Amino acid sequence: MKEGLIQQFEGYGEVARDIEVCRKYGIDYTLEKGSVEKFINRLHPGRMTLRVADIIEETPLDGTLRLVPEDGYLPPFQAGQYITVSLETGNIRTSRPYSIASPPNQTGYYDITVRRVKDGLVSNHLLDRVERDDVLVCSGPAGNFYHNPLIHDRSMVCIAGGSGITPFMSMIQEIVDCGLDREVFLFYGSRTLEEVIFRKRLEAIAGRFPNIHFHPVIENPPEGYGGYKGLITGSLVKDVVGDVPGTTFFICGPQGLYDFCVPELEKLGIPGKKIRTEAYAPAAPISNQPGWPENISPDDRFEIRIKDGKVFSARAGEPLLMTLEKEGIFVPSECRSGQCSRCRVKIISGKVFQPAGTPVRRSDRRYGYVHSCVSYPLEDLEIMI
């Protein structure tokens, strides 16, 4: 009936002819099998297998792994982004993010520079057990810590601490290799002079390129050291850089660096939007974080019950994600610093601590979803994965 009526409508004949013609000469969709995946993998592969082509000792604390693709292709990234290395060590399947230290214009390999963390699970594995020709499984490049030309100034003050130099190494090399119109003032805080990663290379670059300025700032300098000493203070930055408007500040390092430097910059009158910080996992012990309840010790233990699954005990001071991994429960993760929501789980009952400022979606908060990489149990929990 409907068909019949439509046929009476003005212009039906023409439309009917269109339908016939289009079907005849149209698109054979069966040929598109796999095409979406193919295109996406060129930019954002979910998983890459990279071979360790070389291991370069940087300082007594750090080593660089030079990673080449097994299949010959490395996806592009923006200088400052990281990859996440997944591996199994001591029977625990886990992962850690590492910024790519090589520049994006280096298309043959990614360098990751790993600093040894005392009692750290993965850093020690990567530095001590991984050998040349080993294969690592990694995520595609990700992260939001990069120079965005739409909002960031051409003049950048970069403040690094410890292994936080890696994203800046990538940015600086790209700037000089590709002749980008940008100026960098790099302040690199380090406990000792020996622990300054890439020191020789950075000095050489700064010596050759007038738009790159390198200032190590050493906390415990050797006797007679002529460079900057102590911490990276606002007045030091102002003395060196001069006028700060028209400059964007980038900070990357351990939590202590942000806690100290951000207020220092704010004292100079720099607006919050000009200060960009890389994500970081909260410093241990977690009980030092603002908002941690006084009556709970990081060593307190609580019972975790997985919906339809295991029950086990967890330490308050250990991220839920880590506890799950130790229990052999796999939860995908990427940034491990609360930013990407990859490790999101639902807390059905019980309370967890999440550091202030963790970017959890508003409706996720409402329905009890947390980012497990930065969530710490404060009560017995039931969770859904």
Partner 1 sequence: MQDYDVIVIGAGNGGLSAAATLAQNGMRVLILERHNIPGGSATSFCRGRFEFEVALHQLSGMGTTEQPGPLRSMLGRLGVLEELSFVEMPDLYRAFIPGKLDVTLPADRSGVLETLQKRFPGEKEAIGKFFELVYAYAIELYTFLRNPSAAQGTFPLLQRYAFKSAKDVLDEFFTDPLLKAVPGAYWGFIGLTPDRLSFSYLAILFFTYIEMKPCHIKGGSQALSNAILNAFLAHGGRIRFNCGAGKILVENGAVLGVITEDGDEITSKYVVSNASKITTFVDLIGREHIPEKFFDDMRGLSRSPSGFCVYVGLDREPAEMGIDASTTFILPDEDISGEQFKRMKVLDTENDMVAFSCYDVADPEFSPPGACQAVLVTLKYGEPWMRVPPRQYAREKYRCADAMIRQVEKVYPDFRGHMEEVEVATPLTFMRYLGTPGGSIYGFEQYMKDSLFFEQPRVSPVKGLFMAGGWVANCGFEPTLMSGKSAAGAILRMEG
Residue 153 Cβ, how far from ligand FAD at the closest point, in Å? 22
Residue 194 Cβ, how far from ligand FES at the closest point, in Å? 32
Report the interface residues with ligand FAD, using CB under 6 A.
82, 96-99, 112-115, 117-124, 143, 163, 166, 278-281, 284, 315, 317-318, 335-337
- Among residues 358, 322, 270, the alpha carbon closest in space to that of 121 is found at 322
Alpha-helix runs per DSSP H in the chain: 2-8, 12-25, 35-43, 122-124, 166-178, 199-208, 234-241, 255-267, 320-326, 362-366
Nearer CB in complex with ligand FES: 175/340 = 340
Residue of the chain from 257, 270, 343, 381 that contacts ligand FES (CB under 6 A): 343
Would you count residue 305 as binding partner 1 (CB under 8 A)?
Answer: no
How far apart CA 142 and CA 183 sit, in angstroms, is 24
Question: Residue with structure tokens 């990694």?
Answer: 138
Say if CB 316 and CB 298 are below 8 A apart.
Answer: yes
Nearer CB in complex with partner 1: 22/283 = 22
Can you say whether the dihedral through the CA atoms of 193, 198, 201, 205 is positive or negative? negative
For residue 247, the partner it binds in partner 1, ligand FAD, ligand FES, none, with Cβ less than 5 to 8 A by kind, is none
Residue 249 Cβ, how far from partner 1 at the closest point, in Å? 14
Would you count residue 373 as binding ligand FES (CB under 6 A)?
Answer: yes
Alpha-helix runs per DSSP H in 134-229: 166-178, 199-208
The residue range among 57-65, 259-267, 268-276, 338-346 that interacts with ligand FES, by the rule CB under 6 A, is 338-346
For residue 113, the partner it binds in ligand FAD, ligand FES, partner 1, none, with Cβ less than 5 to 8 A by kind, is ligand FAD
Q: What are the DSSP calls for 72-112, one per residue?
A: S------TT-EEEEEEEETTEEEEEEEEB-S-TT--S-EEE
Q: How far is CA 13 from CA 4, 5, 7, 10, 300, in A?
A: 13, 13, 8, 8, 78
How far apart CA 315 and CA 320 sit, in angstroms, is 9
Residue of the chain from 364, 379, 380, 382 that contacts partner 1 (CB under 8 A): 364
3-class secondary-structure state, position 372? helix
Say if CB 160 and CB 190 are below 8 A apart.
Answer: no
Question: Residue with structure tokens 């029950």?
Answer: 311
The residue range among 36-44, 184-192, 248-256, 333-341 that interacts with ligand FES, by the rule CB under 6 A, is 333-341
Give the contact letters, 276-315, x = binds to ligand FES (CB under 6 A), - = no. Answer: ----------------------------------------
Residue of the chain from 60, 93, 107, 293 that contacts partner 1 (CB under 8 A): 107
For residue 102, the partner it binds in ligand FES, partner 1, ligand FAD, none, with Cβ less than 5 to 8 A by kind, is none
Residue 3 Cβ, how far from ligand FAD at the closest point, in Å? 60
Say if CB 383 and CB 346 are below 8 A apart.
Answer: yes
Nearer CB in complex with ligand FAD: 64/248 = 64
Would you count residue 336 as binding ligand FES (CB under 6 A)?
Answer: yes
Would you count residue 340 as binding ligand FES (CB under 6 A)?
Answer: yes
Residue 345 Cβ, how far from partner 1 at the closest point, in Å? 9
Q: Which of residues 54-83 bind partner 1 (CB under 8 A)?
A: 75-76, 78
**Cβ burial, residue 167 (10 Å; 0-12/13-18/19+):** buried
Displacement of CA 302 from its chain's centroid (Å): 30
Q: What is the CA radius of gyration of the chain?
A: 26
How far apart CA 128 and CA 325 sit, in angstroms, is 22
Would you count residue 119 as binding partner 1 (CB under 8 A)?
Answer: no
Tokens describing residue 234: 């606002």
How far apart CA 189 and CA 236 sit, in angstroms, is 12
Q: How many residues bind ligand FES (CB under 6 A)?
A: 12
For residue 304, the partner it binds in partner 1, ligand FAD, ligand FES, none, with Cβ less than 5 to 8 A by kind, is none
Site residues (CB under 6 A) for ligand FES? Answer: 333-336, 338-343, 371, 373
Site residues (CB under 8 A) for partner 1? Answer: 1-2, 4-6, 8-12, 14-15, 18-19, 22-24, 26-30, 32-36, 39-40, 42-44, 75-76, 78, 104, 107, 144, 148-151, 271, 273, 332, 339, 341-344, 359-364, 366-367, 369, 384
